[in-house]
Chains A and B, each alone.
Chain A
Amino acid sequence: MHPASSVIIFTTFSGLGFGLLFWLGIGAITPTGLMALIWFAIAYLAAVGGLLASTFHLGRPERAIKAFSQWQTSWLSREGICAVVTLLIMAAYGAGLVFFDTVLRPLGWLGAAGALATVFTTAMIYAQLKTVPRWRHWSTPALFLALSVGGGALLGGQVTEALVLLGLAAALQVYTWVTGDTRLARSGTDMASATGLGHIGAVRAFEPPHTGTNYLMREFIHVVGRKHALRLRVIAVGLSFVLPIIFLLVPFSHIWGALALVSHIAGVLVLRWLFFAQAEHVVGLYYGKR
């Protein structure tokens, strides 16, 4: 798949923002007044900024409002609704903290659940796709949730929780790589089933339908960069998990905390780039590629 920067930024930052909203919602951090305003501003900047970035890859972004209508079947629609509802609930909860010094506890819990639901529905947009066997697995939403809540803990200064969750996310990430690398081969979809010609013999793509490229090849077949995948995986794990964990284990100071956060965000951006660049869409088989 083509790793579109708008979608990489969207999943990384909205994941982080909703992760922070989760910790704010359950009351792990209960700031009031100006401090609350700053905390919520950070969370909303990340969450809303990410959501806005996602509209940049739309062909007709001016009609984005229509995307809230098909929640009965579409995970993308569900995600949009979850995001907006969560942001509204947490805005009310945040307003209580900022302006009235009041902790509206049930509202916070509801918002925290909404934040988790938003990240889950985002992941399900990818995990639902039978056409991308690497993504169609329970580990996709599990990893999105672990990264979001772990990143949120890091951003929210929840050191112990961040250590546990980043460790969990690292384990999940390695697990998705180990099992995901062979999932297309195990899916049963290959050039023989794509063309239905396997009963005659070995199928080879002889001539593509055109001399140039096309939308399908640009969107679904991304070969550039895959050759560096192993090196990028090592870099991503180092940046998103190993360095932040080391920085959190040294005696706490805000400098180490900030470094851990910056390193983690850079790492997750690389992870998301790999998430798309390494995903093989079955349509590539029609072109003899993957």
Chain B
Amino acid sequence: MTQLPASTAKKLGLVIDLDTCVGCHACVISCKGWNTENYGAPLSDQDAYGADPSGTFLNRVHSYEVQPEAGTAQLIHFPKSCLHCDDAPCVTVCPTGASYKRAEDGIVLVNESACIGCSLCAWACPYGARELDAKAGVMKKCTLCVDRIYNENLPEEDRVPACVRTCPSGARHFGDLGDVDSEVSQLVASRGGFDLMPEQGTKPVNKYLPPRPKDVMPEYDVLAPFLEPVATDGKGFAHWLDKALSALPGGAK
């Protein structure tokens, strides 16, 4: 049903640390792998080995260059997937009821057997979190790996979204953002986690942690005294060599 629940018991979501993300795209690959083989229609590719490849992805990593007023530019890798918004505009626009937000954990899902592929939910999403699969003709989006996180057939450490499980730099965290005492909520509080496009009024559950300020390195070099130019005192072999070479025709003065 496309009416949003008044409140959800939990707010499961991701916290993404822009300080530690190295932009390796491992989360993109593990997401595509898990979600192609499991819940719902596979994430199809078109012309995968041809000149113009394209395909459906539920998670993509952008890279931005940020230029401060003074100092060098910073490169920031920026993974982006569904933010499982509290006020999800993609859900309310759906004409068939295929899009819904779960009251028990806040996950936004698509019932693919009811989706007519009208694309209006993708139009309503400011984040580009939904992609219409070109082969299946239905809307695909991040499920927060709903088929992993409650899956008792998996070892306990695997009961997190595939992107979180695979991240080699620990830049992705999964938990209940509705519980102020949860690890993810405390991480958000301590690091100043923020929303993307807050002015759109979507109240995203997923949060982003800002890059920490870069250290400013003082001019500091223990070897410098030993690497002074040696021929300035006008003595010794090096000085003689300098003078002798300069005296040659065409020598540098």
Contacts and interface: CB of A to CB of B under 8 A. Distances in A.
B57 A214 contact: yes
Given A60-B137, A77-B96, 9 more contacts: A59-B132, A60-B116, A70-B2, A74-B120, A194-B196, A197-B210, A209-B62, A219-B119, A219-B122
B60 interface: yes
Interface in B29-56: 52-56
Given A129-B123, A131-B126, A212 B95 contact: no
Contact of B197 (A75, A77, A282): A282
Contacts, number: 196
Mostly helix, strand, loop or mixed at chain B's interface? loop
A207 B62 contact: yes
Contacts of B211: 197, 200
A203 B122 CA distance: 25
B67 interface: yes
Nearest to B136: A59
B64 A205 contact: yes
Contact of A60 (B18, B73, B138): B138
A122 B240 CA distance: 91
Contact of B96 (A67, A189, A195): A67
A231 interface: no
Interface string A24-64: 00000000000000000000000000000000011111011
Closest 5 CB pairs of A and B: A59-B117, A59-B137, A209-B60, A201-B68, A66-B96
B199 A196 contact: no
Contact of B95 (A69, A131, A205, A281): A69
Interface residues of A, number: 59
A203 B124 contact: no
Nearest to A75: B93
Contacts of A61: 116
A197 B128 contact: no
Nearest to A198: B66
Contacts of A59: 115-119, 132-133, 136-139
Interface of B: 1-3, 18, 25, 28, 52-57, 60-69, 73-76, 78, 80, 89, 91-98, 114-120, 122-128, 131-134, 136-139, 194-201, 208, 210-211
Interface string A60-96: 1101101111101111110010000000000000000
Given A206-B75, A286-B128, A77 B95 contact: yes
Contacts of B198: 193
A202 interface: yes
